[in-house]
Amino acid sequence: MSASFAMHLRKALALCLGLCLAFAAGFVPAGAQGSAPAKITITAEQVWLRRAPSLTAGNSVPVDKGQFYDVIGRTADNAWWQLAVPGADKSAGTWLLADLGVLYSGDLKAAPVVSATLKPAPSAAPRRRAARAVPFPAWVPRITPQQRAIWQNSVKAGKDLNIFTVAGDCNSQPSVYLRRLAGGQFDASALEPRLQAIVQRFAPSFGRVSLAAQGGFGSHSMMDPTWADGALCGTKMGPFECELWVSRASIVFISLGTQEQYSWQDFEKYYRPMVEHALSKGVLPVLMTKADDIETLSGAPSGHINGVIRKLAGEYGVPLLDFWAATRELPNNGLIDEGDKDFHLSYAGMDRKILATLQTLAAITGE
């Protein structure tokens, strides 16, 4: 081996060793940079992808919890991801609300920002004018100037006028209430224009998980730190207090009472502080009656809990969404037939609850 060849060989080996050490340390040479495509997994049950990045866009492709997909596009705020779905017609749209999935691997920044918009129907403006002239059903609260002022002034307390939340029990869990709209089980694309505008305005509220809505929760749980998420709420706030603080919601729907079938005598004692706390924080509480009357099986007078809710709405001058009245025309009053203890909402009851919620939000905002 010549001296010249040996010298070149030593230089090549040194260069190779240097590159290996550099790559091991995380260095990527110029021209070789790039991020791995993002892969996400679906975390919510029964999800429909959308034709455009909007909750009022039509459904396109169903996906299931636990499935994995590559992200091929995203909105600038990363609120929506466009997925590569094998066999799906790309022209149909494959958009997922980001709240319904989680990043599994890769980098979302590797996906291009797509400026996809939802085209309004050509006749939307005439329908909107006609819709404004049609009053909402009687169970939707008629909002007073004082009530609207509470909502409008909530920004002074650091609240967001485009966020609402819910405090509730098994009939208010995300999977049977607000996330049904986020996931496409409730078809918001079929709503009248003024309600579609409400969905778009409050869009961030439908995908998030309330800290104060869970099966087994009752009014007794709401202000008790024992039931709260200690990592977020500490040791002094109950679920209701924590949710109003974390969400920065300007409106809270209080949908409770079913869980108190055995403790109906104490319902008012625990319910009243929630109304007072919301008002003290500048949040407009909307009190919602329930579709069942299950407490009568434990000796309560018929309509006892709903009567308390109606009384407190009047006493504090806050909106009352009379969901009891809204479900009287539905099969089995909007409840699943469970024998003599009907209290879980049926699909018709779930849909009516979402619709009544949107109508109430429209009444509050004046849409």
Q: How many Å apart are CA 227 and CA 221, to the nearest integer?
A: 6
Same domain, yes or no, for 100 and 154? no
Q: Which residues form the domain of 315?
A: 124-365
- Residue 334 within any structural domain of the chain: yes
For residues 199 and 189, give the distance between their C-alpha atoms in angstroms, rounded to a whole number: 10
Q: To which H or E segment does residue 362 belong?
A: helix 347-365
| Domain co-membership, 203 together with 63 | no
CATH code for the domain in which residue 57 is found: 2.30.30.40
The residue from 110, 140, 172 where one domain ends is: 110
Single residue among 56, 79, 110 that ends a domain in this structure: 110
Task: Identify the helix (H) or strand (E) that includes residue 172.
Answer: none
Q: Tell me, what's the pLDDT at 230?
A: 78
Span 317-332, pLDDT tens digits: 999 999 999 999 999 9
Q: What is the mean pLDDT of residues 285-312?
A: 94
Domain count, the chain: 2
Q: 147 and 91 share a domain? A: no
pLDDT of residue 256: 95
Is residue 56 domain-shared with residue 156, that is, in the same domain?
no
- Is 206's pLDDT higher than 80? yes
Residues 106 and 143 in one domain: no
- Among 86, 110, 134, where does a domain finish? 110
Same domain, 168 and 256: yes
Same domain, 220 and 311: yes
In terms of Cβ atoms closer than 10 Å to its own Cβ (0-12, 13-18, 19+), residue 188 is buried
For residues 183 and 313, membership in a common domain is answered with yes
Is 117 a member of any domain?
no
For residue 196, name the pLDDT band (cuts at 50, 70, 90): very high
Which residues are within 8 A (CB) of 230 and not within 5 positions of it... i.e. 6 or more apart?
A: none
| Residue 11 included in any domain | no
Strand partners, 321: 288
**Per residue in 16-69, pLDDT tens?**
444 443 444 444 443 334 568 899 999 998 899 999 999 999 999 999 999 999
- Does residue 7 sit within a domain? no
pLDDT single digits (tens) 8-20: 444 444 444 444 4
User: Residue 321: how many CB atoms within 10 A of its CB?
Assistant: 25
Residue 266 lies in a domain: yes
What is the model's pTM?
0.85
- Verify that 200 and 72 share a domain, yes or no: no
Q: Is residue 191 part of a domain?
A: yes
Within a domain: 165? yes
Q: What is the CATH number of the domain that holds 313?
A: 3.40.50.1110
In a domain, 26, yes or no: no
Domain identity same for 230 and 312: yes
User: Quick check: 125 pLDDT over 60?
Assistant: no
Judgement on whether residues 173 and 248 belong to the same structural domain of the protein: yes
Q: Please check whether residues 92 and 191 belong to one and the same domain.
A: no
Give every strand in the sheet of 249-255, ordered side by side. 160-168, 249-255, 284-288, 320-321
21-30 confidence digits (pLDDT tens): 344 444 444 3
Dihedral over alpha carbons 273, 278, 282, 286 (to 10 degrees):
-120
C-beta neighbour count of 136 within 10 angstroms: 17
Mean pLDDT along residues 79-100: 91
From the CB of residue 190, how many other CB atoms can be counted at a distance below 10 Å?
10
C-alpha 50/C-alpha 67 separation (Å) is 17
Q: What is the mean pLDDT of the chain?
A: 87
